[in-house]
Homo-oligomer: A and B are copies of this chain.
Amino acid sequence: MKPEELKGHLDGLILAVVSQESLHGYAVIEALKQRSGGALALPEGTVYPALHRLEADGLLRSEWTQAGRKRRVYSITKRGEKELGVSRERWRVFSATIEAVLT
């Protein structure tokens, strides 16, 4: 998968996995890999800044935990849930559009 084609879609994906279960950053990467069947093997340099951006936008909230290893666990906020809905709808429109032209 080439890097650019993910642009604009990453935030929704992260919101989707975190909405199911609060996760720390590294676990988000694992979850994306697993749920995509290995297709989404994102580097940390992609995911961590995205998490910070989502938190700055108030769509995620984070908390440091220390059960053994120090981890920053992210949960989805109300606004994040709402934005996830918007992302899903936007994806429907977008994919229908591409499908109509490309195929």
A87 CB, nearest partner CB in chain B, Å: 7
> Which residues from B are CB-within-8-Å of A3?
8
In the bound complex, do residue A101 and residue B4 qualify as a contact, i.e. CB atoms below 8 Å apart?
A: no
A47 lies within 8 A of chain B by Cβ = no
Q: Is the CB of A13 within 8 A of B91?
A: no
For A32, the chain B residues whose CB sits under 8 A away are 101
Q: Which of A5, A13, A16, A94 has the most CB of B within 10 A?
A: A5
B90 in contact with A2 (CB, 8 Å) = yes
Please give the distance in Å from A49's CB to the nearest CB on chain B. 15
Tell me, yes or no, whether A72 is within 8 Å of chain B by CB: no
The complex places the Cα of A37 from the Cα of B103 at a distance, in Å, of 14
